[in-house]
Structure 1
Amino acid sequence: MKKCYFFCFLLFSTLMYSQKKSLQTKFITEKISLDGKLDEAIWQSVPVATDFVMFQPDNGKVIPENKRTEVRVLYDNEAIYIGALMYDDEPNKILRELNKRDDFGAADFFGVFVNGYNDGQQNFEFFVNAADGQADCLATDSNGEDYSWDAVWDSKAVITSFGWVVEMRIPYSALRFSSESKQTWGVNFFREIRRDRQKYSWNLIDNKIGTFTQQNGTVDGIENIKTPTRLFFLPYASFYTYANADQKTYGELKGGLDIKYGINDAFTLDAMLIPDFGQTKYDDRILNLSPFEQQFNENRAFFTEGTDLFSKGNLFYSRRIGGPPSYSPETKTNEEIVENPTTVDLYNATKISGRTKGGLGIGYLNAVTQKTYATIKDTISKETRRVLVQPLTNYNVLVFDQRFHKNSSASLINTNVTRDGSFRDGNVTALVWDLNTAKNTYNLSGNFEYSYVNDIESKKDGINTTLNFAETSGKYRYNFGGNLVTKDFDNNDLGIIFETNYYSFNGFTSYRILNPTKLFNSFNTNVNGYAQFQKETGKVQDDQINWNVNTTTKKNHYIGFGLEYRPVETYNYYEPRTEGRYSIDPTRFGSWFSISTNYNNKFAFDFNPSFAVLNETKRTTFSFYLSPRYRFNDHLALNYEFNFFRQNNNKGFVDSSSKNDALAPNTIIYANRNVVNYTNNINGKYSLNSKMNFNLSARYYWSYTENKDFYKLEDNGRLTAYDSYTDNKDQNLITWNLDLSYNWWFAPGSQLTLLYRSNAAKYDNLITKDFGNNYTSVLNNEDLSHVISISVKYFIDYNQIKNVF
């Protein structure tokens, strides 16, 4: 009898979890009031989505009856409506920290995932937390969840005597779907009980399968909807007051307009006219000793929102648009540069994106930047002249992405930069594929990229191609692959690449638990290896073997550690900054450890020390990261971050001479140096409610490199003493950034922001090892500037104003 019962239970579980759930919805004509009460009678006339199962940590476990979740869906010609009841036997323990948009904080949340094509490849995800805050994102298996995407929708969350309630209104303008009269959408509902760190979904998300978006249920019954015109305007106005260390103060008024137009139910046009990026988050500038440029995050909303198509192939680095000028001004004798812009202004930017019923995604992005000049002054005659450092430039990205079998895709991408006049133009075309077996157990991915550059005096082309094979399901997983980049591959006009002229091989294997054990809620260990070779000579440029362990304890503390080993010397063809030359890097052994305590606690911290020992006399590297955080209450929280990094007896490039140097032609000079970095960050927030937030972000960064001995780089890659070199090549960089802002979402899609910003940077070759004195000196620096700005953006729906006209 027991065996029979056990067999029936297994059969029931298999049927329950292997089949996609379906929920019926209903068209309504009456108005739904978003008050978190669900007291309209129509809510009781539709079926209920219930029987949620755990996603993490105990995958597949049925939600307890006293924490059951019930969800209903309605729709009209403008939007879908979701009503959710989250039962909780201890509603006074529901976590409800207030936070800014897209930040869950320590709070329970409910989410709905919508795939209008039901093709298993992309979810539009909308979340509401127990503090009535909102978050939304685009989710794909290849790129994860992108919270830079923001939609305009309404919601209300209310704590009750039995738990909490959410009502949501998601307009069709926030979704993408085909124009068929009868719709079947992929849908899933998600709930996290934060105090227990337990996540549940309506349709099981089986963690044995390496995919998230393909495990939705469906919503049926959406028929003959007459969607309204999707035309939205976002006018904005900003006023800036600037002051520098000389107390020179002036004001500037800016204004502009963003337009969003639904070409049809699937495709959308976004246009930005007269952009204003003055309130964009500051860049975390560092002392960059590498031969490569520093890569910055994109913080401008237009270039982050809904750009999943444009990220295909990793060819698009949006900071090229409106970034530093492409050319540096050249001076003559007795001339100096008195004005050299650090950024280039945009005239406009436009993007079109969407997907057809057959799964073909099309993305088009275009931006035009202005002519930009530097000003040069003759120190004797005092006359000035202007030099063109950035011509009128057109940037263009075109993407065709075909999805098939609900889990695979192939993409064709082209990026093009055309500069007016006799300046460099660049073009890159790529084929990218991501292929999965029917049961999502194996994956074959890769790309083939071709670049063509037409420079003023030369033309060049190159290839970058990769191929990877992986097992993506179960406890044991692995992948292996390779990469080839030719010498003249160059996508830097609209992309970014650091290393070329090599081929490489990589391998990875891992083991994970799928359900909790007595010690761990989650456990993962992996071993991976990588080897890179210079294409012409076959010399090893990089080699490493890593072993890592990542765990979450039963009390939801994260603990991880790892070992890394570079077993042979490598040939560095990039550090000498001269074609054909290389230096030799020694073998290396290192380790790291990390702990992150449960953020549910009022006090929590992150701690991450690491070290490495290189096979050279006293050459070591060590660092540690410490970040305590404290949540005073549901309104106020502070987080401090301290990051220390030190390299002892590091060897690196400091100077070189030309072939015409009479004393030392073609000499490359390295230094034996100590490199030290200190980074201090303070982040804080005070939330008045879910719509009003004060936010603090401050960063003090100090880094220096202190040279002790100098060497000459020999042709065999070894270093020999070069005592005759006496130039001071020490470097010292101190930066200060402070942002204090007030944000008020006073209406859906509409925002008022008041920002105070101060920043300064001090760079020289004089090192003062006095932390306090350096901090004071940068604040007293003549480059210290202050900005106070107020910006108002107002969302206008054409359907709400058309009757006025």
Structure 2
Amino acid sequence: MQAKSVSQNISIDGKLDESAWENAAVASDFITLEPDNGKAAPEAKKTEVKVLYDNDAIYIGARMFDDEPDKILKEISQRDNFGTADLFGVFINGFNDGQQDFMFYVSAADVQGDCIMTDANGEDYSWDAVWISKAVLTENGWIAEIKIPYSALRFSQENKQTWGINFFREIKRTRYKYTWNFVDRKIGTFTQQAGTLEGIENIKPPTRLFLMPYASYYLNAGEGQKTYGTIKGGMDIKYGINDAFTVDAILIPDFGQTKYDDQILNLGPFEQEFNENRAFFTEGTDLFNKGKMFYSRRIGGKPSEPKLNDNEEIIEQVQNVNLINALKLSGRTKNGLGVGILNAVTEKTFATIKDTITGETRRVVVEPLTNYNVLVMDQRFRKNSSVTFINTNVTRNGHFRDANVTGLVWDLNTKANTYNLSGNIKYSTLNAEEDKKGMYATLSFAETSGKYRYSFGSDFVTKDFNPNDLGINFYTNYYNFFNNVNYRILNPTKLFNSFRINLNNYIEFNKDSGKTQDASINANVNLTTVKNNYYGMGITVYPVEICDYYEPRTDGRYVIIPRKIDVWTSLSTNYNHKFALDLNPSITVADEPGRAAFALDVGPRYRFNDKLLLTYTFSFLKRNNNKGYIDSYDDDDNENTPETIVFANRDVITYANTLSGKYAINSAMTINLAVRQYWSSAENKNILKLDQDGTLDPYSQYTENKNSSFYSWNADLSYSWWFAPGSQLSALYRNNASNFERVIDKDFKRSVTNLLTNDALKHIFSISVKYFIDYNAVKNKVRKRA
């Protein structure tokens, strides 16, 4: 396709009435992507797209014809969450290397969405660009008009540009998706099947400098606590070093309005992994996610626990370490070399400890001044393959441990995208009281095209591999083998729009002892009917007893896990209907009397109109006769006696209720509700002792109460208004509370009521304004006034 140069001003109003649009080339003849892949789009629902450009931006004008315009779905939703609405999208690859698309969507309700797409990681909607669009309904369909500044894209400095491009349309009421350039679903890639955009020549993009100052006010209150207000301010900066590389910096960060974490009663040997909700660490971080070595929640996370002497307790400790500043540089050369650098610094953090006998207090450092670094160099070639070098480094001030992890990652595909060879090697060093070094290696091979596909591979992990200072990894000291065989339909049948069946096999061995740590055979089916209802079902068989080396939490010890079977089903009815339902029951039965688990998730949702949507989810889990670690201790009188490891035979019950709601005033202004109530308890029925051979025997000598009960409540009511491109005003009221105790109160209503009426309930009201300033826009205004 040819883009047309334009000198006149293009008003983004959804009318396409400027003369420049009349003589521009037309992209049409769209082809079905899903479900009837390869079939031409019907004439009654044809799509026509035109492209203009100037020194500031590229302009897209799209007409979506529809012979039933009154049936166009147009639910108004938040940015990046399209709900039930028709979509138009443009996918741009400024290097035309088939590796990464910048995707820009507009819904028929005039809602924007944008993401970065790679075949390896899929669509990353955490990336947000600043661009302008307008969608308008017409008597024969709808129109989308889009202006994408060059600052939102990445491309080379060549005088003549050649971009990869594709256009996308989804008709929501039929769930049919179309693309301008044919995307063959028999091939296991999307980004490498784009068309070509030519004609953009001799552009002189302006300086890419953007300032985003913000100001926030927080009012904190709690029952029996002092009410106080806090004012915060800071700035984000984006600067384009050239057309391909950008520096992002955050000065005096403020994350007070980020989504709360869904905490759980964690009875396992590993920490709970949380999602990243801070925009700086989610936007445009696809390079840093290569090799899965970077877990951004380590930066500004929970401080370490100080060592306590006898008769001491912590009386004051912060929940999270403060982030002083952070910056990241990312981009890619015209030869396909991507470079990413991320740096962050967190402040020195203290805890106050009190002697319960003398009353004396002391302050100790729980986290020193710390510097975090991530370096990524990713070389792409042949439009479908890459080799990546990654290094993460954590340097702590003073006599605290430092950590370094280096990795080499490869993703190699044949020219026809029919086979893939991928893997990585990671090497970690940890400088603490005792230096430790470890390695992680994985290799897999897969057929990635056609109806029948397969894959197989292996992992090898040494005992001392530890990337957890800036990454996250739980299992070490093992090697495994895995494979998958699957079948899918590529075109709809009389019954199904999509259908896929998988068979998976997995076996894992402890590296030192050779004992089986895991073994499973899984079969599952996932399908969508012609009425667009989703069904899934699966069964996993664990055919042999396995040795769990992690639950005992002592080096070299393991507990035997009996054979078991998991069965699950899943239903999700068509969201196009006002009422829809998600249903997910499952059951696990072990080869041990009374040891079983039952789970059920029920999620009804109702769309009252195009503005109001409510969704409720109830989750229930019960594990009967669950065996788990509760304590361990040494025999002080005999150094040769092995450590005593205490387990409990327990019943674990979990209830969770989640309510979310959205009321859209218009496409730029929404009110959102998110409420989560959670309660989980573990009631110990009898105490057990772990023997050296991994079996459990009754143990009456242990009498300490190790029952567990955890309650939590979170409620957010927020208002969001995008009052200008890239500029947002948001107001949030939040209340939350949590409580852990050893006494289990089985009166559910009383437990929740007590949680909401005691001193633990905290209230926070905040209002935040951020404003997007384009250096060039300011410069042009000053020139005009002069």
**Structure 1 and Structure 2 fold alike (TM over 0.5):** yes
Q: Residue 710 of structure 2 contacts residue 741 of structure 2 at CA under 8 Å; is this kept in 1?
A: yes
SS of the counterpart of 2:85?
A: coil
Q: Residue 322 of structure 1 contacts residue 346 of structure 1 at CA under 8 Å; is this kept in 2?
A: yes
Deviates more, 1:332-341 or 1:423-432: 332-341
Give the equivalent residue in structure 1 for 2:216.
238
Following the alignment from structure 2 to structure 1, what is the Cα–Cα distance between the partners of residues 637 and 22? 87
Alignment of 1:351-366 (within 5 A): 351-366=328-343
Give the equivalent residue in structure 2 for 1:9.
none
- How far apart are 1:245 and its partner, in Å? 1.5
Q: Classify 1:479/1:355 alpha carbon distance in 2 versus 1 (closer, same or farther; 3 Å).
A: same
Q: Work out whether 1:792 is the aligned partner of 2:782.
A: no
Q: Work out whether 1:649 is the aligned partner of 2:625.
A: yes
Q: Work out whether 1:720 is the aligned partner of 2:697.
A: yes
TM-score (norm. length: structure 2): 0.98
Give the equivalent residue in structure 1 for 2:523.
547
Give the equivalent residue in structure 1 for 2:17.
39
Q: Which amino acid in structure 1 is aligned with residue 192 of structure 2?
A: Q
Matching residue within 84, 92, 101 for 2:62: 84
Matching residue within 582, 601, 622 for 2:558: 582
Q: Deviations over 1:248-283 (max 9, x none)?
A: 200000000000000000000000000000001000
Give the equivalent residue in structure 1 for 2:456.
480
Matching residue within 466, 486, 491 for 1:490: 466
SS of the counterpart of 1:24?
A: coil
Q: Percent identity?
A: 64
Q: Residue 673 of structure 2 contacts residue 717 of structure 2 at CA under 8 Å; is this kept in 1?
A: yes
Following the alignment from structure 2 to structure 1, what is the Cα–Cα distance between the partners of residues 507 and 295? 26
Matching residue within 600, 603, 623 for 2:599: 623
Following the alignment from structure 1 to structure 2, what is the Cα–Cα distance between the partners of residues 245 and 439? 65
Following the alignment from structure 1 to structure 2, what is the Cα–Cα distance between the partners of residues 669 and 95? 59
Q: Work out whether 1:288 is the aligned partner of 2:266.
A: yes
- How far apart are 1:247 and its partner, in Å? 4.3
Q: Residue 521 of structure 1 contacts residue 552 of structure 1 at CA under 8 Å; is this kept in 2?
A: yes
Q: Deviations over 1:595-628 (max 9, x none)?
A: 1000000000100100010001110011011000
Q: Deviations over 1:785-804 (max 9, x none)?
A: 00000000000000011253
Q: Which amino acid in structure 2 is aligned with residue 721 of structure 1?
A: P
Give the equivalent residue in structure 2 for 1:377.
354
Q: Residue 138 of structure 1 contacts residue 145 of structure 1 at CA under 8 Å; is this kept in 2?
A: yes
Following the alignment from structure 1 to structure 2, what is the Cα–Cα distance between the partners of residues 750 and 658? 59
Q: Which amino acid in structure 2 is aligned with residue 509 of structure 1?
A: V
- How far apart are 1:332 and its partner, in Å? 3.1
Following the alignment from structure 1 to structure 2, what is the Cα–Cα distance between the partners of residues 721 and 338? 38
SS of the counterpart of 2:162?
A: strand
Following the alignment from structure 2 to structure 1, what is the Cα–Cα distance between the partners of residues 166 and 585? 40
Q: Deviations over 1:499-543 (max 9, x none)?
A: 100001100000000000011000000000111100011100001
Give the equivalent residue in structure 2 for 1:332.
309
Matching residue within 325, 340, 344 for 1:348: 325
Following the alignment from structure 1 to structure 2, what is the Cα–Cα distance between the partners of residues 646 and 144? 34
Give the equivalent residue in structure 1 for 2:399.
422
SS of the counterpart of 1:199?
A: strand
- How far apart are 1:724 and its partner, in Å? 2.4
Q: Deviations over 1:650-687 (max 9, x none)?
A: 11111111242679861111111111111110000000
- How far apart are 1:384 and its partner, in Å? 2.6
Give the equivalent residue in structure 1 for 2:655.
678
Give the equivalent residue in structure 2 for 1:453.
430
Following the alignment from structure 2 to structure 1, what is the Cα–Cα distance between the partners of residues 635 and 273? 32
- How far apart are 1:202 and its partner, in Å? 0.2
Q: Work out whether 1:634 is the aligned partner of 2:610.
A: yes
Give the equivalent residue in structure 1 for 2:501.
525
Deviates more, 1:794-803 or 1:95-104: 794-803
Give the equivalent residue in structure 1 for 2:89.
111
Q: Residue 638 of structure 1 contacts residue 684 of structure 1 at CA under 8 Å; is this kept in 2?
A: yes
Following the alignment from structure 1 to structure 2, what is the Cα–Cα distance between the partners of residues 431 and 726? 51
SS of the counterpart of 1:195?
A: coil
Give the equivalent residue in structure 1 for 2:573.
597
Give the equivalent residue in structure 1 for 2:294.
316
Following the alignment from structure 1 to structure 2, what is the Cα–Cα distance between the partners of residues 543 and 80? 54
- How far apart are 1:320 and its partner, in Å? 0.2
Matching residue within 377, 392, 395 for 1:400: 377
* Structure 1 residue runs without a partner (length 5+): 1-22
- How far apart are 1:46 and its partner, in Å? 1.3
Give the equivalent residue in structure 2 for 1:439.
416
Q: Work out whether 1:774 is the aligned partner of 2:751.
A: yes
Q: Report the aligned-residue RMSD.
A: 1.1
Q: Classify 1:560/1:490 alpha carbon distance in 2 versus 1 (closer, same or farther; 3 Å).
A: same
Q: Classify 1:665/1:692 alpha carbon distance in 2 versus 1 (closer, same or farther; 3 Å).
A: same
TM-score (norm. length: structure 1): 0.96
Alignment of 1:753-772 (within 5 A): 753-772=730-749
Following the alignment from structure 1 to structure 2, what is the Cα–Cα distance between the partners of residues 137 and 540? 42
Q: Residue 657 of structure 1 contacts residue 665 of structure 1 at CA under 8 Å; is this kept in 2?
A: no
Q: Classify 1:313/1:41 alpha carbon distance in 2 versus 1 (closer, same or farther; 3 Å).
A: same
SS of the counterpart of 2:173?
A: helix
Q: Residue 4 of structure 2 contacts residue 25 of structure 2 at CA under 8 Å; is this kept in 1?
A: no
- How far apart are 1:377 and its partner, in Å? 2.5
Alignment of 1:18-167 (within 5 A): 23-167=1-145
Following the alignment from structure 2 to structure 1, what is the Cα–Cα distance between the partners of residues 227 and 583? 43
SS of the counterpart of 1:589?
A: strand
- How far apart are 1:423 and its partner, in Å? 0.5
Following the alignment from structure 1 to structure 2, what is the Cα–Cα distance between the partners of residues 697 and 489? 39
Q: Work out whether 1:263 is the aligned partner of 2:238.
A: no
Following the alignment from structure 1 to structure 2, what is the Cα–Cα distance between the partners of residues 541 and 435? 30
Q: Classify 1:233/1:718 alpha carbon distance in 2 versus 1 (closer, same or farther; 3 Å).
A: same
Q: Which amino acid in structure 2 is aligned with residue 766 of structure 1?
A: V
Matching residue within 132, 148, 165 for 1:170: 148
Q: Which amino acid in structure 2 is aligned with residue 770 of structure 1?
A: D
- How far apart are 1:381 and its partner, in Å? 4.6
Q: Residue 762 of structure 1 contacts residue 781 of structure 1 at CA under 8 Å; is this kept in 2?
A: no
Q: Deviations over 1:398-438 (max 9, x none)?
A: 00000000000000000000000010000000000000000
Give the equivalent residue in structure 2 for 1:216.
194
Matching residue within 451, 458, 470 for 2:446: 470
Q: Residue 482 of structure 1 contacts residue 503 of structure 1 at CA under 8 Å; is this kept in 2?
A: yes
- How far apart are 1:380 and its partner, in Å? 4.7
Give the equivalent residue in structure 1 for 2:541.
565
- How far apart are 1:333 and its partner, in Å? 3.9
Matching residue within 272, 294, 306 for 2:284: 306
Following the alignment from structure 1 to structure 2, what is the Cα–Cα distance between the partners of residues 321 and 112? 35
Following the alignment from structure 2 to structure 1, what is the Cα–Cα distance between the partners of residues 192 and 761? 52
Following the alignment from structure 1 to structure 2, what is the Cα–Cα distance between the partners of residues 296 and 367? 19
Give the equivalent residue in structure 1 for 2:727.
750
Following the alignment from structure 2 to structure 1, what is the Cα–Cα distance between the partners of residues 161 and 557? 62
Q: Deviations over 1:292-343 (max 9, x none)?
A: 0000000000000000000000000000000011x32223344321101110
Following the alignment from structure 2 to structure 1, what is the Cα–Cα distance between the partners of residues 703 and 372? 45
* Structure 2 residue runs without a partner (length 5+): none
Q: Classify 1:661/1:192 alpha carbon distance in 2 versus 1 (closer, same or farther; 3 Å).
A: farther
